Structure 1
Amino acid sequence: MEHVLACIDASSYADSVCDLSAWASRRLQMPVELLHVVQRSDAVAARGDLSGAIGLGVKTSLMQELVQLEAADAKLKVERGRLLLEAGEQRLRDGGAFDVRTLHRHGGIVETILEREEGARVVVIGKRGASHEFATGHIGSKIERVVRASTRPVLVASRSYVEPQALVFAYDASPAAERALVRLVESPLFNGLPVTIVMADTENEAHRRALDDAAARLGVEREVTTTLERGKPEAVIARVVEQTPGAMLVMGAYGHSPIRTLIVGSTTTTMIRTVRVPVLLVR
């Protein structure tokens, strides 16, 4: 059965992930799978850092102590995860989620999310995890890895939740943008929400025609406006988002290859990093 996959950790983004997942569950009429992953610890690195150049007898004693501490830490992480899942499940149910099931896993965070997304309609994840929570102006490394590898739309939650009331669709007629447009047309997640289609490019007949065609595909029953403005995409899109109350940004994800991104940067990464609204990314 298709579901909304909500991924939480101990960061302050967990509440927003749950609230956004409940919203998606209500609109899609699908259950939520609430996932928390206890990440593997690097015991070898810990021993290397702590043992040092000390006497053999002391080192042996220290290794035993490390094993005990590691076991205690593992139990603490499991208990913390159980409490997180309980609180998240309650928040989802209070938010009107269609149904909720929880899943507590051990292993790699990214690998587990990619494994569990197989039956998901959408993956919901916070902009930053617990280890990067206060790195303002950045996104977590695991978030980018999930988005690049995922075959499902990824909904990135901002720190504070406001129910989406309108959509800003970043459109450039690329294959990724076309796939995002198909999602907008077909998915009940967006039913009834007004859409602003924004293109950051020069004003000419070809660009205007592409915008008008995209608006027409969204249908006459939906409130659709278009904006064509020359400038850097991240600046133009951010301005429209800021001027749209209750906005959710929808865009294609990573139109360029990872190698090109290392050289010239990525609009996708910039938008996730800078806007303070939910961002739905479609591969």
Structure 2
Amino acid sequence: MERILAAIDASAHATSVCKYAVWAAERLSLPIELLHVVQRQDAVAARRDLSGAIGLGVKSDLMEELVRLSEESSRAEIEKGRVLLAAGEQIVREAGVTDVTTLHRHGGVVETILEREEDARIVVLGRRGTDHEFAPEHIGSMIERVVRSSIKPVMIVSRAYSQPEHVVFAYDASPAAKRALERLANSPLFDGLPVTIVMAEASGNAKRAALAEAEAVFAPDHPVSSVIDPGKAEKIIQQVMGSVSNPLLLMGAYGHSPIRNLIVGSTTSEMIRTIHAPVLLVR
């Protein structure tokens, strides 16, 4: 059975992740699975790391004590995960979704999300984890890895929750954008929400024709407007997002190779980093 997969950690984004998962679950009539992953430590690697940090000649009993403390820390992380899942479940149930399950896993965060997304309609993640929670110039280190590897739409959310009232759709006629367009026009997730289609870094008859084709996909009674502008995508999308109330940004994800993104940057990463609204990415 399909579900909304919401991954939470100890950051302040966890509450927002739960609330956006509720929003999606109610509109799609789906249950929610709350996931928390405790990353497993390699005891041998930890022992070697400690040996290197302390230096040669350390006594074995001290070494064993350090390993024991590491194991106790792992147990504390497990217990913290249980508390987080219980709190998340309470938020979801109080919001009206009673069909919710929790899953506590050990292992790699990215690998576990990709494993659990098989039956997920949407994956919901916080923009930043605990490592970068108060660093607005950063996005979570796991996000790009999840989005590049995932075959499901991924919603990246900020710390503050606002129920989406308007969809801003960044459209460039790429294969990923066309898949996002199909979802936008047909999914109950977007029923009744006005849509603004944005084509940035675009001009000329061919681009205008592509924009008209995108507009024609929607039902006649669906409120749709459009913007086409030759300016940089990051600037134009920001302007449109700022002009509507409680927007959700929908866009295709990472249209270029990772190597090219290292050279010229990525509109996807820039939008995740700077937009203080949910961003729904479709591969």
TM-score scaled to structure 1, two decimals?
A: 0.96
CA distance in 1, matches of 2:267, 2:73: 39
Listed as ranges, the matches of 1:45-194 within 5 Å are 45-51=45-51, 52-55=54-57, 58-97=58-97, 99-194=99-194
> Counterpart of 2:268?
268
Contact 1:233 1:267 in 2 (8 A): yes
- The Cα shift of 1:47 comes to 3.3
- The Cα shift of 1:48 comes to 3.9
| Identity among equivalent pairs (%) | 60
Contact 1:8 1:36 in 2 (8 A): yes
Give secondary structure in 1 for the equivalent of 2:59. Answer: helix
Which deviations, in whole Å up to 9, do the C-alpha atoms of 1:110-153 show, x marking residues without a partner? 00000000000000000111112122121111011001100000
CA distance in 2, matches of 1:129, 1:59: 37
> Counterpart of 2:240?
240
CA distance in 1, matches of 2:109, 2:100: 20
Which deviations, in whole Å up to 9, do the C-alpha atoms of 1:211-233 show, x marking residues without a partner? 12111102212100000111111
> Counterpart of 2:31?
31
CA distance in 2, matches of 1:110, 1:50: 26
CA distance in 2, matches of 1:205, 1:242: 27
Task: Supply the AA of the counterpart residue of 2:24.
Answer: A
Contact 1:23 1:97 in 2 (8 A): no
Alignment size in residue pairs: 281
- The Cα shift of 1:282 comes to 0.2
- The Cα shift of 1:203 comes to 3.2
- The Cα shift of 1:252 comes to 0.3
* Worse-superposed segment, 229-238 or 145-154: 229-238
- The Cα shift of 1:44 comes to 4.4
Q: Unpaired runs of 5+ in structure 2?
A: none
Contact 1:29 1:98 in 2 (8 A): no
Contact 1:23 1:95 in 2 (8 A): no
CA distance in 2, matches of 1:202, 1:105: 45
Contact 1:195 1:223 in 2 (8 A): yes
Does 1:12 find its partner at 2:3? no
Contact 2:18 2:92 in 1 (8 A): yes
CA distance in 2, matches of 1:183, 1:98: 26
CA distance in 2, matches of 1:134, 1:42: 28
- The Cα shift of 1:98 comes to 5.2
CA distance in 2, matches of 1:87, 1:202: 46
- The Cα shift of 1:97 comes to 2.2
> Counterpart of 1:253?
253
CA distance in 2, matches of 1:50, 1:179: 49
CA distance in 2, matches of 1:2, 1:50: 44
Contact 2:46 2:67 in 1 (8 A): no
Task: Supply the AA of the counterpart residue of 2:121.
Answer: R
CA-atom RMSD in angstroms: 1.3
Contact 1:30 1:98 in 2 (8 A): no
CA distance in 2, matches of 1:71, 1:191: 49
